[in-house]
Amino acid sequence: MFRPKTDVLQGTLALLVLKTLVRGPMHGYGITLHIQMLSNEVLRVEEGSLYPALHRMAQDGWIKAEWGASENNRRARFYRLTTAGRKQLAEEEKSWARLTQAVASVLQHA
Amino acid sequence: MSWLSRLRDTFRTGRLDDELDEELRSHLEMRVADNIASGMTPADARHDAHKRFGNSTLLKEDARETDIIGWLDTVAGDLRYATRVLRKNPGFTLTAILTLALGIGANTAFFSVVNGVLLNPLPYPQPELLVTLHESKPNFLSGSISYSNFFDWQKDNHSFSSMAIARDYGFSLTGLGDAEQLDAKFISSDYFLVLGANPVIGRTFAPGEDKIGTAPIALIGAGFWKRKFGSSPEVLGKSLTLDGKSYTIVGVIPEAFDLYRSAHPTDVYVPIGQWNNPLVPNREAGLGIHGIARLKAGVAIEQARADMERVTANLAAIYPDADKGIGAHLVPFTESLLGNVRPILLVLFGAVGFVLLIACFNVASLMLARSTSRTREFAVRVALGAGRSRLIRQILTESILLSIIGGALGLLLAQGIRRAALRVLPTEMPRAADIHTDSHLLLFTVVISLLAGILFGLAPALKSSDLFLSETLKESGRGSSGTRHRAQSVFVVLEMAMALVLLIGAGLMGRTLLRLWDVQPGFDPHNVLTFSISLPPSMNAASPAAIRAAFRHVHENFGSMRGIQALSVSWGAVPMGSDDEQVFWLDNQPKPSSVNDMNWALSYVVDPDYLKTMRIAIVRGRFFTDADSENGQHVVVIDEVLANKFFGNEDPIGRHITLQQGEMKAEIVGIVPHVKQWGLDSDETQQLRAELYVPFMQLPDAAMKLSPTGTTLMVRSDGSDAKLFDSLRRTNKLMSDEQVIYGAQTMEEIISVSLAARRFAMILLGVFAALALILSSVGIYGVISYLVGQRTHEIGVRIALGARRWDVLNLILSQGAKLTLLGIVIGVAASLGLTKLMARMLYGVSASDPLTFIGVAILLSFVALAACYIPTRRAMRVDPMVALRCE
């Protein structure tokens, strides 16, 4: 139940969301499905983390939200990547690569 | 995070909240739809969707924390919760609030004094340019400026944009209701120009109107204007009868422009040229005239000093008889106004700050102790998803709420405290009139309340939130009580140390005052009343013989009153009251060419009964008799200091001296003991201590003509008449309706006024120290109680195993003793440094007086151990069975 705020996942969540949105605008529920699917059900995005993260990213100007209609014609809020968001994505991809490389090399040689 | 977008959010919060709701709802619905599609029953589908969301309120709260309204919303929630918590523990809440109210109240009250006296700007434009002026003479640094020298200073200097002189005076006012005495000032024309004051109505004095021989005009103070004329603008051009002479009122001066802002505002201002004293134009006369001047912009005081040195040197060359050795002494005005009180007020302000710190530590200690019983509550909150910062915020909200309530109560309390403090405030305190509640004061209260709240809230907040990160969730955490106990002990030790510092400060002041009361003033002040008398204004024009007759008449009338044992006129110095000087030369000396080469002595001009009135015993020879009248041989009496200084081993009796005043040659007929003219504490360090007594009736005619106004009478009574002055006033009225007696003061009052600043410091330090002692005793009581509570089980086991009550007593009390001792050690070390700050206020005791230090340490230990004893008794009564069973 105790939910630490500074989770490693929290950091990667932004990366995953930004990457997902490269394909085009998507609503929150769609984002969770997408990430779950592409990660072969390994990564599950908690709703409790997703919305605060979306809100924060919108405030930072990485994404923009607007109301639209979902596939089933339900009203939903769609998130779209902004230019700043694309730049941020590039940054985060780079640092992710650095991180995984670093972890990998430790695992190899230790 | 972008503040701009936060701000934008603020303006659309309602919408934002709705949007968030709708977004979450649509998410839920999509999930439910998918769940149903994958084969769940609708109920399961819904349940699953909600479960995935977990705490939807928390979710919303988290998403919302990014905007200000949301933040305020959480604060409001915290406040509601804090109120509920505090209301549920009335005992704790009340103790905490009262403790804080005391601390904050004392600080606020004292700040109002500091604010009024030291911080508020003086009511003059650019007060930093104001300089007080004195004539420096061989005997005095701050001597009187003569009228003639002043006009030359004013004309010759290049440093001041304006310069003025003033002299306090008392006028008898007649012809406007009952005759009364007015507080007056003789001033030169530029006085209000220097201060930068504009009249309420009318005008001030024009250049030249301050010269001798001009038409009599007057300015009145706004208070007097209101009292006597109902603030009517018609007052301009009306006449006032002062000492029997008619003055035309030309303007009204606002009250705020009283130079020293003391409790006695000036009623009337008159040009100095109107003073009927024949010595006024005399260049060498010392008549108690002092100056104030305004520096030109950009001129430093050192430049002004150099400039005045040039001016006075020129005058000394032109008028060597009068001005040889005469200089100008310049002091920045704020320094001369506040130089004496600033250190006292700052020491006291520091002391009252200690009281607040102790109060804060106490409340922090209470909160720590209480957080034990709240462990479960916090655990539940953490389990529900509260983070560490969230918990800290909650506890801080509670403590700030406490401190704000305490502060509000303290502000009320401060009004009462201040009223009481003003009563013990020395009447001589400059700017006493400037002490009141203003926006600074409110701001100060709010700031110290908030600071206090954060200060005493932070430690408990950090401690209790730590608890949960260390995963001690399951049980009511005995593991952490160690650290909490340590924090409480640190608080208690610091409280003890600060209380000790305050007690030592108060103790040193107390011993100073005791020492001073023990100092023999050289006379018996008990049952002696002094007051001033002004004969009817018609006497101002009377012959010296008529004046002498009038005073003999006064003497007889008062002297025959029931209960009066002796009385004497006093023209000149009054011990510890006012001073006056005579210059003289000895019979084996040629007449010195300049006044400044003559010998100086304090001058007492009195009646034969003076010694009886003051109960001074003659040392050798005789005092005056009625035969030493205007017709008798001129005689004087000297004190032992004068005898030693000018005659050494020779016998002064029978020798002659010549008084400069009237070139009067007089025989020394007696020697009396020295009287401490300059006060109990500082008389020995003064330069001018020789004392000379002259018979009042032998005053030269010129001086006698001045005596109808402002002569002092000293009366010894048997103490049977509690309203002696009222009786005197009745007798006085029978003599003449136009004769005024005023300014009654007992000799004991005069002495106590001379000690007033110290007494003020001692009373306040005493009160602060007592507060500190009480609060820190409560503190140590709390800690020991807590300890006993924690160790009940252990004590039970010990008793079950055969420990005696004595062992339990020892066990618990030794804890208290350890804390107290540590506090005392730290306190003594701190005091050794801090009491140096008050060395100037001490007399006869050293700032590290061992007797005070030891006595106070014993007192503190005793009180602290007494406070420990109450919970210890509870420990001794522990029933082992009950103690063991409760585990």
- The percent of residues in chain B predicted with pLDDT above 70, rounded, is 89
Question: In the predicted model, what is the mean pLDDT of residues B462-475?
Answer: 54
The predicted structure's pLDDT at residue B80: 85
Does residue B189 form part of some domain? yes
Domain count, chain B: 4
- Do residues B718 and B631 both lie within one domain? yes
Q: B566: which strand partners?
A: B716
Mean pLDDT of chain B: 84
Residue B87 lies in a domain: no
Residues of B in contact with A46 (CB under 8 A): 52, 54
- Tell me the pairing of strands B656-659 and B664-672: antiparallel
Q: State the Cα–Cα distance between residues B567 and B716, nearest whole angstrom.
A: 6
Question: Which stretch of B426-430, B433-437, B655-659 has the lowest confidence by average pLDDT?
Answer: B426-430
**3 state SS of A39:** coil
Structural domain harbouring B51: 3-64
Domain boundary pick from B292, B325, B358: B325
Asked if A76 lies within 8 A of B30 by C-beta distance, the reply is: yes
Band of residue B8 on the pLDDT scale cut at 50, 70, 90: low
* Mean of pLDDT values over B579-590: 85
Q: How far is B14 from chain A (nearest CA, A)?
A: 16
Per the CB < 8 Å rule, is B27 touching A27?
yes
The tens digit of pLDDT for each residue in B728-743 reads 989 998 998 888 888 8
- The reply to whether B796 falls in a domain is yes
E strands present in B690-788: 691-695, 711-717, 740-746
User: Pick from B118, B9, B113, B124: which is nearest to B70 by CA?
Assistant: B9
What pLDDT is recorded for position B469?
Answer: 46
Are B508 and B555 in the same domain? Answer: no
Last residue in a domain, options B46, B64, B82: B64
Residues B627 and B716 in one domain: yes
Domain match, B245 and B320 both: yes
Least CB–CB distance from B23: residue in A1, A48, A77: A77
Just give the CATH number of A8-109: 1.10.10.10
The verdict on A84 touching B (C-beta cutoff 8 Å) is no
Q: Is B377 on the interface with A (CB under 8 A)?
A: no
**Mean pLDDT, range B572-600, rounded to an integer:** 82
Q: Which of B1, B20, B30, B389 to mutate to test the interface with A (most CBs of A within 10 A)?
A: B30
| Residue B677 domain flag | yes
Is B674 in contact with B641 (CB distance < 8 Å)? yes
Task: Find how far residue B19's CA is from the centre of its chain.
Answer: 61
The 10s digit of each residue's pLDDT in B317-347 is 999 888 888 899 999 988 887 777 788 888 8
In-domain check, residue B113: no
Burial class (CB in 10 A: 0-12, 13-18, 19+), B186: buried
Residues in chain A with CB shorter than 8 Å from the CB of B7 are none
Looking at the structure, tell me whether residues B702 and B784 fall in a common domain.
no
Are the beta carbons of B22 and A29 separated by less than 8 Å? no
What interface predicted TM-score (ipTM) does this complex get? 0.79
Average the pLDDT over each of B253-267, B348-362, B834-848, B870-884 and give the range with the smallest value: B253-267
B60 pLDDT above the threshold of 60: no
Determine whether the interchain pair A47/B52 forms a contact, defined as Cβ–Cβ distance below 8 Å.
Answer: yes
Q: Let me know whether B183 and B293 are in one domain.
A: yes
Instruction: Supply B887's token pair.
Output: 């585990």
Specify whether B722 is located in the same domain as B864: no
CB B460 within 8 A of CB B364: yes
Highest mean pLDDT (candidates B6-10, B309-313, B412-416, B591-595): B309-313
Contacts of A109 (CB under 8 A, 6+ apart): none
- Tell which of B689, B704, B735 closes a domain: B735
Instruction: Over range B267-288, report the average pLDDT.
Output: 86
pTM exceeds 0.95, yes or no: no
- How many CB pairs below 8 A link A and B? 73
Q: Do A29 and B385 touch (CB under 8 A)?
A: no
More confident call, A41 vs B464: A41
SS (H, E, C) B499-516: HHHHHHHHHHHHHHHHHH
Residues B510 and B571 in one domain: no
Same domain for B501 and B437 = yes
Task: Write out pLDDT tens, residues B620-655.
Answer: 999 999 999 999 999 999 999 999 999 988 999 999
For residue B774, tell me if it sits in a domain: yes
**pLDDT band with cut points at 50, 70 and 90 for residue B478:** very low
In a shared domain, residues B665 and B550: yes
Question: What is the mean pLDDT of the segment spanning B228-249?
Answer: 91
> Is B448 a member of any domain?
yes
Smallest CA-to-CA distance from B279 within B666, B585, B697, B660 is with B660
CB contact under 8 A, B31 and A75: no
**Nearest to B886, CA basis, from B792, B785, B783:** B792
Q: Which residues of A touch B63 (CB under 8 A)?
A: 51-52, 55
Domain ranges of chain A: 8-109
B771 inside domain? yes
For residue B120, pLDDT beyond 80:
no
